[in-house]
Amino acid sequence: MAETSSDLRTILEKIRHDTDKALALIADAQEQRALAWTCVSCGHVKHFTRAVTLEAVARCPRCKSDQFRPLP
């Protein structure tokens, strides 16, 4: 009986781990990332070596605007 209980616990922990991993992937996919972002105000393009989120872009060095959109 203890063996069955232990097996069931192991299975349930694996399910929980897999579910947590899947939810983290979904949350990650919902954030928009891009290699280049263009300023909405002046058109300046900020380039990055890795895809970054809008929060990582910060402010435009030219006009100090904080409104960017991803470059297609």
Q: Tokens 């100090």 appear where?
A: 64
pLDDT in tens, 49-60: 998 888 888 899
Mean pLDDT of 4-16: 90
pLDDT, position 29: 66
pLDDT surpassing 60 at residue 1: no
DSSP letter string, 12-69: HHHHHHHHHHHHHHHHHHHS--EEEEEETTT--EEEEEEEE-HHHH---TTT----EE
Tokens (6 digits) for 8: 């069931």
User: In whole numbers, what is the pLDDT of the chain averaged over residues?
Assistant: 87
**Domain layout of the chain by residue ranges:** 1-30, 32-72
